[in-house]
Amino acid sequence: MNSSNPVFELLDEPVPDRLWHYTSGQGFLGIVTSKSIFATDARFLNDREEFIHASKIAWAVVEETPELGPNDFPSKEFLRMIVTSTFETGLVHPDCLQTFVASFSAVEDQLSQWRGYSRGTSGVSLGLQLGSLRKRGAFACFAPCVYEPARKRDLIRYALHQSLGEIQGYWDEKMGVKQPDGTGAPDDPDLLREAADSGPSTESFQSRLEQARTRMYVYLVMLAALLKNESFSEEQEWRLVIRVLLGRENPQNRHFFRAGNTTLIPYIAQPLSSEPDAPVPLTDVILGPGGHPNAVQATQAFLRSEGVDVTPRGSKVPYRPW
């Protein structure tokens, strides 16, 4: 774990020994038979604020930033450019990048999740060992969601201001501010402001500026799918996030579709193991409180037919769906 970088601390958080996936009976059949988890296009998830939430936090951090940094560096304007290009015209925008999410929970038997994700509490909660899904990068990650407002803002602030500090250093060098090693040469402030806003004026400055700018983009893209409204905090969600550039689909992320209540919903199937012959990493099965009286026996027979040695059990939630 990288203790000096809170973004990487989040992305490298140890995966629990078991996480739970609430799904319908149909989803359960598909997961076990395909040995894959189905990641849904984020635009069709039940949180209306997906990605919008992270964007709001980013804009709040921009607004708290002073207009000018040391030596008249246009700090706020530079961050405005980064946030606009990330969420409104760049990688996070759905016209550029399609984001797929598979959701898991640290809670095994929770009424609100039965109601929300298991088709009227008659579905299944699957206990899975998911250490092999550990990923970290701009296009894939597996990490817990963050709900606390202060921590969400701290993460976005780090993503923006860490690289902004580097850029300020480059600006100071060009402005002739003496560094500890005595370096630094004067230059035209107008050219430097133009460099920060629209394009560097020298090859060296351009390269360094682009590296810092890219780091900001990557941080924001990684965080965007993990910052959730605190109203969802009881779910204790972990997310597998997979991003696909539009027009860059391949056999590993082939798009499928299922019928929702009001539309077709795109998804991709992510194998639960890198070994095709490995058994599905299923360690427990809980049947929803609204299930059929004989559901345990039927589920046991299905699992045996698939070579899965797990004994299902019923939910302890005393809920009747009538």
161: Cβ–Cβ under 8 A, 6 or more apart, which residues?
Answer: 61, 65
More confident site: 74 or 188? 74
Q: Is the pLDDT assigned to residue 35 strictly greater than 80?
A: yes
Amino acid 1: pLDDT: 46
Region 266-295 average pLDDT = 89
Residue carrying the six token digits 């039965």: 114
Amino acid 249: pLDDT: 62
Q: Say what the pTM is.
A: 0.83
Region 91-118 average pLDDT = 86
Amino acid 136: pLDDT: 64
The interaxial angle of helices 149-174 and 52-64, nearest 10 deg, is 50
The rounded mean pLDDT for the chain is 83
Residue carrying the six token digits 């050219």: 191
Which of 8-17, 51-60, 210-219, 271-280 ranks highest by mean pLDDT? 8-17
Judge whether 83 and 256 are in contact, CB under 8 Å: no
User: What's the CA gap between 282 and 23, in Å, rounded?
Assistant: 14
Question: Side chain identity at 170, as an amino acid letter?
Answer: Y
Residues 26-50 as b/e (b if ≥16 CB within 10 A, e otherwise) read ebbebbbeebbbbbbbbebeeeeeb
Amino acid 131: pLDDT: 86
Amino acid 199: pLDDT: 41
Residues 61-93 as b/e (b if ≥16 CB within 10 A, e otherwise) read bbeebeeebeeebbbbebbbbbbebbbeebbbe
pLDDT digits (tens, 9 = 90+) for 177-224: 444 444 443 344 454 445 544 443 455 667 777 777 788 888 888 898
Lowest mean pLDDT of 16-20, 192-196, 292-296, name the range.
192-196
Lowest mean pLDDT of 46-50, 176-180, 260-264, 281-285, name the range.
176-180
Q: Is the pLDDT assigned to residue 79 strictly greater than 70?
A: yes
Beta carbons within 10 angstroms of residue 14's beta carbon: 8
Amino acid 187: pLDDT: 42
Backbone angles phi, psi at 220, to 5 degrees: -65, -40
